[in-house]
Structures are given as structure tokens and as C-alpha cells.
Chains A and B, each alone.
Chain A
């Protein structure tokens, strides 16, 4: 083994280790290694950049949410087809139409899906207009509400939802933000949550729904099982019976819902708990990128944080913070990562800049 190869191996190990569970001690040791020799840092940056680029492969995930560790095996994909036509989702095992959604079509499909959803919302509103009750929280707000059927809902920051409980069904329309539903069991009155074009059906369970953007909704199930209908599929709220064939998300799983796709990932119990910690007013980071962590903090606070330095956006952060305590968060970043913090005179915007120490 040459020295170059040893350094490269050590750099790759750090890269991978820092993506997993980290402790302040691991960070210190990493920092020490990085400071030992500029070649260490240079090789680390090189591998980090490659590792970041590899994320492009996410595009190749099957649209039907199936998970296949052998997706990239030679029997499944020939590199020359990628070279010819670019990366695209590989066919999953549930449906067999690999050409269904090549990338350039996505936009169009979404436009159609959005149009259908909009038409649906209009029709729905005109017929069910009465009997809705609205709940809302502002930035940094958090509320727990009990509904007429005994279910409870926790509204996270900056959230708006409408509730209508009738004798045949329970409907929630989430128009903004994130909410956790603890659904009282009632087999005769299914519980529907509509978020954008996504619809989630439950009977008795606990799950959260978050609108990330109009094209992307997250569903996390803590207990029981729910059916998830993606926008642009038959399983929309106008046609709930079709949800029977829609993908099911079970306890300990999370789904990322986009037009025509429900992408289900298993989660560890600890991670489920961590993702729902906002109900107690805290957020916990465990190896999230700085940009994700900042985005998360900004949901809860009017004082916005901005990363003014591209070199640190991918830095992995950890820690437990009160959602409204921006100062502790930035202090931790200053102390642990040596970042500099500047506060804008006019807007009070908090800017993060890499310090003298390498990230």
C-alpha cells in the first residue's frame, strides 16, 4: 500500500463514518486528522465531492416504491443505455412499464395531476363546504387539539388544517405545514388526510403528514398502517375506494410522496421518535447536513438563518435543541465547528460562515 492509498482509504473511512452516528469525540478525532496534513484534507474533499455527485443515482429509483438492493446489477441495467438516454427510474417489480415516466415527462404529469387535484378541490368544496372547522398555528407555534371523534391532532409550526367529522367519514385537509394524527379507532368512519394531491387513509393509527412543497409530501407512520394515494393516481380523495390498491405504509415506515410515486423507507424506532420530537417542542439532529438543519430551524423562527458559505452546506450536524432557541443552535455551531456568525443590521438575518478551522 502506498502512502497515497492509505490516505485515500482513511479519508473514505472518515467520510462514511461521519454519515453514520457521530459523537463530539469522533468529530474531534476527525478534525485532528484533517489538520495533520493538507493532503488529508485535500483527499477528503475529493472523495466528498464524488460522494455528493453519486446522489444523482437517486433518479434511478423505481417509481413504484419497490426496493431492490440489486437495482444496479449488470443483469438489471446496462451502462450504455444510461450513456445513450440519460439516467431514469429503473422498472420496479410491482409494475412493468419502464418507459412510463422518463424524466422530461414528469413536469407534464405533475401539471395534469395538479389540474385534476384543483378541479377535485373545487368540486369537493362546493359539495362539502359546510361543517368544516379550521385550526392554525403561526411560525414557532405548536398546538394539540382533540377532535369530535376522540382523535387528537398536533399541529406543528406554521400549519393550517381543516377538519370535518361526519357520520360516514372523517376528513382533514392539510393546506400548510405538518401535523401528527392520533386516530381514534372507528372502522365505520375512515379517516382521510388530504395534503395537496396526496391522500392518506387510516382507520385507527398514529401518523404524521408534512407538506414539504406542493410536489412533495412526507408521511410517517408511528402506529398501525395507512394507505397513501399519490397525486395523479386513481387513488385520490374523490375516489377513496381505490385506495384499497394504493401503497400501504406501516408502523416504522416513512413515505415520500410525489406525483405518481410513493417511496417507502423503513425507519428505526429511534428515528421515528426523533422525527416526531417536535411534538415536545424539540428537534434532534443526527448527522443531517447543515443545510437541512438550517432549513428545519427556519421553519420555527422568524429570525432566519442563512448559510453564506457554500463550503459548509454539507457539514453534518448533531444535537438536541428547543425549536425556538436559535441562539443555542448557532452557539453550538460556533463552538463545535468554528463557524463564524454574523447578524444582519437591517433584517436580523443570521449568516453562517466557515471559520478558520476546516469544516
Chain B
């Protein structure tokens, strides 16, 4: 009863980049990736609430869910771009629980976060700084900066989305090329050993 139904989702956040890379290979389009990723997370929540036996490898499970979500989506699309079909085989190999390192250590994570914050408009960055670095309440920030609480709320909303992006989602193109490099290297290694 006290089992937390968020547990699969929480773990999956740690490798969101991998899930995105996986989805991207079916969609070839970042906004579709966003769409499908939410669906993957929703299914992970549902799975966490079910009475099914505990999943052993959340990573393998999440990748399977991602693949299912992508297949459902492709089925609805009816038309599947030809280059996708060629890639599907490669995908299988990649998804087989390959441990894509958590390249990001916590320092790098914070550095990326600060970089993302620096990319926000000045006012938004200031509001964020007062809230999250200094711990001011929204009301206090509004008073201090002479803006409405509503505006403070809008700035923070924007900042929150940016933070999630910086922390969980790395640019798919980088991820993707990295995955492909690894895949190619591995393939080459296989060829040599044969």
C-alpha cells in the first residue's frame, strides 16, 4: 500500500535523454518526441500503480514502453518513412539494455542548469534567483522588484520548464550522434572479431 507509484517514473527521469533518443529514431521530430515522452511517463505511472510484479530493470522496461508508445504512434500514422524502417534493426540492438553511461555528473548538471538560467531573459533570471537561490516567497519577490505576483508566477513557470529541460533532457542531436558512434564502434568491433 505504501509502495510509491511514482517510482518507475522517478527513475526514468534520470535517463530521459536515452528515452528521447530512442523516441527520436521513430519520429525524427522533437515536438513529437515531447508528445510521446509524456505518454511514456504516463504509462510508467500507471505501471507503478498496478499490482504487477516489480520491474527488475526500470531502464529496460522504460525503453520497452517507449518502443510500444512509438509503435502505436507509427501505426496511427500509417505512412512510415522509409529510412525509419532501415533504422529499426539498429534500434533493437541499442535498446537491449545497453548501459548508456550517466555521463552527467552533478557538477556538470549544475553547470548546465546555470547555463540554462543564463539563457533566460534578465527579469526571469532575477525572479528565479530570488526564489530558488535566496528562498524569497513570490509575494516578497513581487514587492522587491515592483512587479505583480502574477508576473512573478509567469517568470517562475517559464524558469521551471527550462530547468526540467536542462536537468533531464539533453539535446537529442548530441545524444543521438553519441548513440550512433557507440553503435558504429560496436559494430566495427564485432566485424573485426568475426
Question: Which residues from chain A sit less than 8 Å from chain B, CB to CB?
Answer: 2-5, 7-9, 12-13, 15-17, 19-21, 37-39, 41-43, 45-47, 49-51, 53-58, 60-61, 67-74, 77, 79-80, 82-87, 265-268, 271, 308-311, 340, 353-354, 358
Residues from chain A with a CB closer than 8 A to the CB of B72 are none
Flag B37-48 by CB within 8 Å of A: 1 or 0 each.
111011111100
Bound state CA distance, A152 and B4, in angstroms? 49
Residues from chain A with a CB closer than 8 A to the CB of B44 are 42
Q: Is B68 an interface residue (CB 8 A)?
A: no
- CB-based contact A50/B157 at 8 Å: no
Q: Which residue of A lies closest to B153 (CB)?
A: A16
Residues from chain A with a CB closer than 8 A to the CB of B109 are 53
Q: Is B118 an interface residue (CB 8 A)?
A: yes
Which has the most chain A C-beta neighbours within 10 Å: B39, B156, B157, B167? Answer: B157
Task: Please report the number of residue pairs spanning A and B whose Cβ atoms sit closer than 8 angstroms.
Answer: 181
Residues from chain A with a CB closer than 8 A to the CB of B128 are 72
Residues from chain B with a CB closer than 8 A to the CB of A5 are 31, 34
Q: Is B168 an interface residue (CB 8 A)?
A: yes
- CB-based contact B160/A57 at 8 Å: no
Q: Which residue of B lies closest to A351 (CB)?
A: B2
- CB-based contact A51/B160 at 8 Å: yes
Least CB distance, A102 to chain B, in whole angstroms: 13
Q: Which residue of B lies closest to A87 (CB)?
A: B110
- CB-based contact A21/B107 at 8 Å: no
- CB-based contact A38/B42 at 8 Å: yes
Residues from chain A with a CB closer than 8 A to the CB of B115 are 79
Q: Is B133 an interface residue (CB 8 A)?
A: yes
Bound state CA distance, A330 and B118, in angstroms? 43
Residues from chain B with a CB closer than 8 A to the CB of A266 are 136, 140, 144
Bound state CA distance, A100 and B42, in angstroms? 47
- CB-based contact B129/A79 at 8 Å: no
Residues from chain B with a CB closer than 8 A to the CB of A16 are 138, 153, 156-157, 160
- CB-based contact A72/B161 at 8 Å: no
- CB-based contact B111/A80 at 8 Å: yes
Q: Is B20 an interface residue (CB 8 A)?
A: no
Given contacts A15-B160, A86-B110, 10 further A-B contacts (CB under 8 A): A19-B138, A19-B156, A47-B160, A50-B168, A67-B134, A71-B133, A268-B137, A309-B2, A310-B4, A354-B2
Residues from chain B with a CB closer than 8 A to the CB of A73 are 118, 122, 125
Residues from chain A with a CB closer than 8 A to the CB of B107 are 82-87
Least CB distance, A81 to chain B, in whole angstroms: 8
Pick the residue among A2, A58, A83 that contacts B132 (CB under 8 A): A58
Q: Is B114 an interface residue (CB 8 A)?
A: yes
Bound state CA distance, A21 and B126, in angstroms? 21
Q: Do A79 and B111 contact each other (CB < 8 Å), given the known contacts A9-B161, A39-B42, A73-B118? A: yes
Binds A, one of B6-14, B51-59, B79-87, B183-191: B6-14
